[in-house]
Amino acid sequence: MSDKPKIGISIGDVNGIGLEIIIKTLADSKIYDYCTPIVYGHTKVASFHRRATHVNELNFNVITDASQPVQKRANMINCWDEDVRIELGNTTADGGKYAYLSLQRATDDLLSGMIDGLVTAPINKDNIQNEEFNFPGHTEYLQARDNAGESLMFLVSDTLRVGVVTGHIPVSKIAQSITTEKIIGKLKLMHSSLKNDFWIRKPKIAVLGLNPHAGDNGLIGSEEKEVIIPAIEEARNNGVLAFGPYSADGFFANGTYLQFDAVLAMYHDQGLIPFKQIAFESGVNYTAGLSFVRTSPDHGTAYDIAGKNQASEVSFREALFTAIHIIKHRRETAKLNENPLLFTKLSRDRD
């Protein structure tokens, strides 16, 4: 297939499970029927992790840039020359340094159009910090590199999709960070993504409240009445089918989420805790609202099992296929819109 997307893969923290789940995923030859993977890292580091996973049949094809990948092979771009000290299960400065070099090179190629999408393995948000990466996580870094005014952290699975209004910020700053305008912006991004990236024609979105019991009609906080409900009403006036606000505990406990195409949570843990409980194995983190496609597995570096050959690659594989599907949806949408039919208003008059 000549139209198979080229998917870049950043390796994350070399002391975590990133390369283990990458290697386990790419060891399945069926992957190459759907995409051409390009891993940004180093073959020596990959070989170290490959020995730990006992995957002997996978050999990386080394290339110097993303314009020359070999199809039906796992391609590798060496992003540095020096040897790397690997300390599995530990957070180290080197772990952050090489995670950043991998991500930086992959993002450069993504922005230049050399690759069609990016799947990021887990980083340590602390040790990756440097003069060029001063962000709470992947989402904010990629939004800045894309010069995007806004983005949406969107957790997706077969049964549940959850986005958040506020992402990686302290709990003490959540309430003051939530505004009517911000909720409307996130709802518009979610609505657009559901239509264009997931091909849901008339998406229904549930909006969660901020306070316990969604404020209990103002008894436990006023944010629902003053901020969230006006945002829902304004979004509906603009063609977004938004409903709520719902009390988060009952909403997930009684399965109400199954009646909606997506859920907008007010803050990180409100959305991610139930999502990971319901879809941890198959969950994918997708950054909606960017000009390019980026996904990641829905878990962290898992230092506690690094190098023990215990990490499941299911979420990473789902992230890879989600990226492939979204890229194809965007391509097909672009083709459909290339030569739209001219709109002509029909007259009621008859000859």
- Kindly tell me the burial class for residue 346, based on how many C-beta atoms sit within 10 Å of its own C-beta (0-12, 13-18, 19 or more): exposed
Question: For the chain, what is the domain count?
Answer: 2
In a domain? residue 351:
no
In a domain? residue 33:
yes
**Shared-domain flag, residues 171 and 221:** yes
Phi and psi at 317, nearest 5°, equal -65, -40
Given pLDDT bands bounded at 50, 70 and 90, which one contains residue 281? confident
Cα–Cα distance between 141 and 119 in angstroms, integer?
Answer: 14
**Shared-domain flag, residues 117 and 252:** no
**Shared-domain flag, residues 132 and 217:** no
**Shared-domain flag, residues 166 and 200:** yes
For 314-325, the pLDDT digits (tens) are 999 999 999 999
For 176-229, the pLDDT digits (tens) are 999 999 999 999 999 999 999 999 999 999 999 999 998 888 888 899 999 999
Q: What is the rounded average pLDDT for all residues in the chain?
A: 93
For 16-33, the pLDDT digits (tens) are 999 999 999 999 999 999
- Point out the domain boundary residue: 86, 119, 148: 148
**Shared-domain flag, residues 154 and 142:** no
pLDDT exceeds 60 at position 346: no
**Shared-domain flag, residues 165 and 248:** yes
In a domain? residue 315:
no
For residue 259, list its beta bridge partners: none
**Shared-domain flag, residues 35 and 164:** no
Residue 25's domain comprises: 1-148
**Shared-domain flag, residues 228 and 271:** yes
**Shared-domain flag, residues 122 and 48:** yes
In a domain? residue 305:
no
| Other Cβ atoms closer than 10 A to 98 | 26
Cα–Cα distance between 80 and 40 in angstroms, integer?
Answer: 10
- Point out the domain boundary residue: 273, 289, 305: 289
**Shared-domain flag, residues 174 and 236:** yes
For 58-117, the pLDDT digits (tens) are 899 999 999 989 999 999 999 999 999 999 999 999 999 999 999 999 999 999 999 999
In a domain? residue 348:
no
Span 272-297, average pLDDT? 94
The token pair at 18 is: 């990133």
State if pTM tops 0.85.
Answer: yes
pLDDT exceeds 50 at position 290: yes
CATH code where residue 82 lies: 3.40.718.10
